[in-house]
A and B are shown apart, each in its own frame.
Chain A
Amino acid sequence: DAEITQSPRHKITETGRQVTLACHQTWNHNNMFWYRQDLGHGLRLIHYSYGVQDTNKGEVSDGYSVSRSNTEDLPLTLESAASSQTSVYFCASSASQETQYFGPGTRLLVL
């Protein structure tokens, strides 16, 4: 069955370290998205991609970057982790004009 996976599921890191969160989907969806979820804010968009080599900034993109070298993967990199980036991160994918399907989430703690 097609699916969307995220790894790691839990991560503890230190302030200033570079961290990469993986997202892999087997739906063959063109669109991929990264959101963060914080108490009182719902989910907010970090970055998104409409296809290979395409990346776009969302509303909370500062301190994050993504790259899209193939259809299946959209890794999210925190260049220099900060305590404010402690959150739960969700990856999602969709076909054009269709519903977004979410991965299981990655819980990140920055100490």
Chain B
Amino acid sequence: AQTVTQSQPEMSVQEAETVTLSCTYDTSESDYYLFWYKQPPSRQMILVIRQEAYKQQNATENRFSVNFQKAAKSFSLKISDSQLGDAAMYFCALTRGSEKLVFGKGMKLTVNP
């Protein structure tokens, strides 16, 4: 069975600062994909970033980057230059590809002006 754990239910960061959201997972598969989704108050699930397990290079998308540690089964998200619009629930998720996403329980990020 695949599991995803987000151990910090809430975090806060000052505007313009950097914050790191942690995620650990468990899977017996060698080929899988990891995602971070953002859910603002509108409740829309928005893809932030994606990482293929076979790629050693960490994914980056503008101010968002990941630290993917395959051996440790860790997948953290770093948000640089935090903005007020980054305030949201963040979900870490895992899939073997075409199959279902397994989600963590989420983490609420507050950005303070």
Query: Residues of B at under 8 Å CB distance from A?
Result: 33, 35, 37, 42-47, 50, 91, 95, 97-98, 100-101, 103-106
**Chain A contact residues: helix, strand, loop or mixed:** strand
Residues on A with beta carbons closer than 8 Å to the beta carbon of B47? 99, 101
Interchain CA distance A48-B110 in the complex, whole Å:
33
User: B36 CB to closest chain A CB, in angstroms?
Assistant: 11
Q: Which residues of A contact B91 (CB under 8 A)?
A: 42-43
With a cutoff of 8 Å between Cβ atoms, the chain A residues found around residue B101 in the complex are 33, 35, 43, 45, 92, 100
From residue A10, how far is it (CB to closest CB) to chain B in Å? 11
Evaluate contact between A99 and B98: CB separation under 8 angstroms.
no
Is A70 an interface residue when CB atoms closer than 8 A count as contact?
Answer: no
- Contact: B103 with A105, CB < 8 Å? no
CB distance from B92 to the nearest CB of A (A): 9
Chosen A-B contacts, 10 in total, with CB atoms closer than 8 Å, are A33-B101, A42-B106, A43-B91, A50-B98, A99-B35, A102-B46, A104-B42, A105-B43, A105-B45, A107-B43
Q: Chain B residues with Cβ under 8 A from A43's Cβ? A: 45, 91, 101, 103
User: Closest CB-CB distance, A48 to chain B, in whole Å?
Assistant: 6
How far is it, in angstroms, between the C-alpha of A94 and the C-alpha of B44 when the chains are bound? 16
